Structure 1
Amino acid sequence: MAGQIAKRVPHLMTLADLSPSQVNSIVSHAHYLKHISLPWLSPQQRGVRASKLRMPSQSLFSKSIALIFSKRSTRTRLSAETATVLLGGKALFLGKDDIQLGVNESARDTARVIGGMCQGIFARVGDHNEIEELAEYSPVPVLNALSSLWHPTQILADLLTLHEHAALFSDPVEGIQNHNPKRLPQLPPLRPLTVAYVGDSANVLHDMLVTYPRLGHKLRVASPDNPKYRAPQPVWDRVVELGCDAGIWWGTDPLEAVRGADVVVTDTWISMGQEAEKEERLKAFQGYQVTEALCRKGGANTNWKFLHCLPRKEHEVDDEVFYGPRSLVFPESDNRKWSIMAVFDLLFGKWDLSAADGVFRQKSG
C-alpha cells in the first residue's frame, strides 16, 4: 500500500536485547510448542487419529531459513533443522565451504543475497562483529546461533529445563499443573535460584550474566585471576547497563562460587580456535573441575543440579556428576530444539518476539 511504513526488521543477538517479560514469554512458548509437537513425533497409536492432535504453528510454511555455520555444531544444527520442519519450513545448511562468504564475497553482499531468497538467517560465527554486519544489511531477521560474545538460544533452553524441573528445587506449587488431559500443562514456575558458574568467561556465561539477575536469580562465578578469563568489556558494559551486576558475585575460588548453589554450571575451557592455548588453560583451571567433593566442600545445596551446554570433556566435570542423578544435561540438550523452535516461530515466522502462545506464570520471590 502506498505510503505504508515499512516494518523494522527484528534481529536477536543476545538476551540483553529483550525484556524479562519477553524472555519469559519465549520460554513459555517453547514449552507450549514442545507439548503440541511431541504427539506428532511419537509412534502412531492405533485408534488415535491425526485430526485429534493439535498442529504446531506453521508460521514457516513454504519459507526457507538459511543456517550459516562457520563452526562445527551438533545440537544447534540439529535443533534448527528439525524445528524448521515442525514449523512447516525448509532449513538450508550453509557451511563455510558451501558459500562465498569470507572468500569472494563480503558479509554485506551475502546478507542481501541470502535475505533476498530466504526468510530468516541463523548464523553461527566467530567474532561477534561478523553477525552484527550480517544483521546490519539483511532484509530479513538474523538470529545469533553463537558468536564470540553471546549464545542466547542456549540460555533459553537452560531456562526451559530449569522450569520443567522446578519441583526439584522446591515443593510443587499447588494448582499449577493442569490435570485436565485435554489441556496442555502450564510451564511450572521457578523460585529464585542461586546459580554457580565455574570456568571460563565465554558466550554461554555472558548471556547468563545479562539474563538471570533480571529474572530474580543470583549468579556466583569463579574464574582464574586473569583478564582473559573474565567478561570482556562490551559484555560487562551491558551487565552494568541492565543493573545485573548487583546480582552477581565474581571471584577466583570455585569453593566460594558454589556456596549455597542450587545449580552448578560449567562450559568448555578450550573453545574452538583456542587449541593452541590448551596447556596454558588446563593449568589455569586446575581445581575447577565440577565434582561431588568440590560442591560438598564448598557448601552447595544438598539437592544441587548440574548443567553443561555440551560437548563436555572430563576435565570440566567428572563422570559421577555428568552421568549421575544431579545432571540435567540431556534434557537441557533436548530443549535446544524447543527453544530454537520458539524463536524461529516468533522471529522468522511472525517478526514479533512478544507474540507467544500460552501463559507464563512466575512465582513471586
Structure 2
Amino acid sequence: MSLAALNGRDLLSLADLSEAELLGLLDLAANLKTGEVQPQCRQVLGLLFSKASTRTRVSFSVAMYQLGGQVLDLNASVTQVGRGEPLMDTARVLDRYLDIVAIRTFAQAELETFAHYAKIPVINALTDLEHPCQILADLQTIQESFGQLSGLTVSYFGDGNNVAHSLMIGCALAGIHVRIATPADYQPLPEIIEQTRRIAGDRSQVIITDDPKAAAEGSHVLYTDVWASMGQEDLAESRIPIFQPYQINANLLSLADSEAIVLHCLPAHRGEEITEDVMEGSQSRIWDEAENRLHAQKALLVSTLGVLES
C-alpha cells in the first residue's frame, strides 16, 4: 500500500495509525531489512531525550545515517531545555532547524505540547504512557516468525506500563488477540483498555487478568518487560515478590503453543522478569526483536519524511 498519507504526520501513539498504515509500515520495514528498497534522504533528525536510552537512540541514529541523513543529539544537559526553556519555545525554534524529531520524555502531555507547536513530524520515542516504536519492531518480529499477525495470541506478563499500553493498541490494530497478565493493582490504565477494545472490535479479544497461567495457555507469543520502569528504581526491590508469579520461565513457557516465541523489549533483569534459560533458549527472538528496532524505525522515518522511492 502507499504510505504517502504518513508524510508530515506525527506518531505520538500507535492509535494514530490505521490498520492499513500499520501493516504498510511493517511491509516496508521487511523490505528495508532485505535491501529490496533503498530510499535516501538528506534530512536532519533531532533526538530530544530526557531519559536514558540504548536501543532507541542507537537504532534511530543508525537508521538516519544509513538513509544518508544526519542526527543531532539534543539531550537536556546540552540544550536550554535543561535550564527551563519553555517547551513551546524550544519546539518553535527546532522546527526551523530540523526536518523531524524523536522525543523521549516522561509525560505524554510534554510530547503533545511539542507536537502542537512544531510543524515537523514528531515521533514518540517513549513516554510514561506509550512506547509505539518498540511495538512496531515487536510486530515485525512476530510477523517474521509466523508469517502472519491476524488471529495470533500475544500474552504480556508484568507491569501494565507504557510498553503494555502500546502492545495492546498495536495488537488490536493488527487483529491479534492480546492477554495482559498483571497483579491486580498494576493493570494498564482503564482508558487504554477501553481504547484498545474499541479498536479491536469483534476482530480480536482483549483480556486483562491476574492469572499468568491462564494468559500463557496456548499463546503464540510470551512478552515481558522490567518490573520497575525508568524513574521507579526505588520501587524495584519491593516489587519482586509481587511480580514473581509473572516471571517468564520454563514452566510458564510450557503452557504456551509448542511453536511459541519469547520477546522482551530490553534491558532485562535476568532472573527476575525472565529466566536466563528462556532468554537464551531456542524460542527466544529477543535479539531479532532488538535488531528490528532499526528497520521498523527506518520505515517510519522514510514514511513521515516523504522520501520513499516511487
Change (3 A) 1:213 1:243: closer
How far is 1:293 from its partner? 1.2
Alignment of 1:61-80 (within 5 A): 61=42, 63-80=43-60
Alignment of 1:156-305 (within 5 A): 156-166=136-146, 188-190=147-149, 192-226=151-185, 229-243=186-200, 247-296=205-254, 299-305=255-261
C-alpha distance in structure 2 between counterparts of 1:30 and 1:262, whole Å: 22
**Which structure 2 residue ranges, 5 or more long, are not aligned?**
1-5
C-alpha distance in structure 1 between counterparts of 2:7 and 2:137, whole Å: 27
Alignment of 1:1-365 (within 5 A): 9-36=8-35, 56-58=38-40, 60-61=41-42, 63-166=43-146, 188-190=147-149, 192-226=151-185, 229-243=186-200, 247-296=205-254, 299-314=255-270, 315-350=272-307
Q: Deviations over 1:65-87 (max 9, x none)?
A: 10011111111111111100111
Is the Cα contact below 8 Å between 1:29 and 1:356 reproduced in 2?
Answer: no
Is the Cα contact below 8 Å between 1:122 and 1:144 reproduced in 2?
Answer: yes
Is the Cα contact below 8 Å between 2:111 and 2:124 reproduced in 1?
Answer: yes
Is the Cα contact below 8 Å between 1:214 and 1:244 reproduced in 2?
Answer: no
TM-score by length of 2: 0.92
Is the Cα contact below 8 Å between 1:255 and 1:295 reproduced in 2?
Answer: no
Q: Which structure: larger Rg? A: 1
Change (3 A) 1:152 1:165: same
How far is 1:208 from its partner? 1.5
How far is 1:295 from its partner? 2.7
State the SS of the aligned residue for 1:97: helix
How far is 1:103 from its partner? 2.1
Identity %: 35
Aligned-pair RMSD on alpha carbons? Answer: 2.0
Q: Which runs of 4+ in 1 moved over 6 A?
A: none
Greater helix content: 2
C-alpha distance in structure 1 between counterparts of 2:258 and 2:176, whole Å: 18
**Which structure 1 residue ranges, 5 or more long, are not aligned?**
1-6, 37-53, 167-187, 358-365
TM-score by length of 1: 0.79
State the SS of the aligned residue for 1:287: helix
State the SS of the aligned residue for 2:39: coil
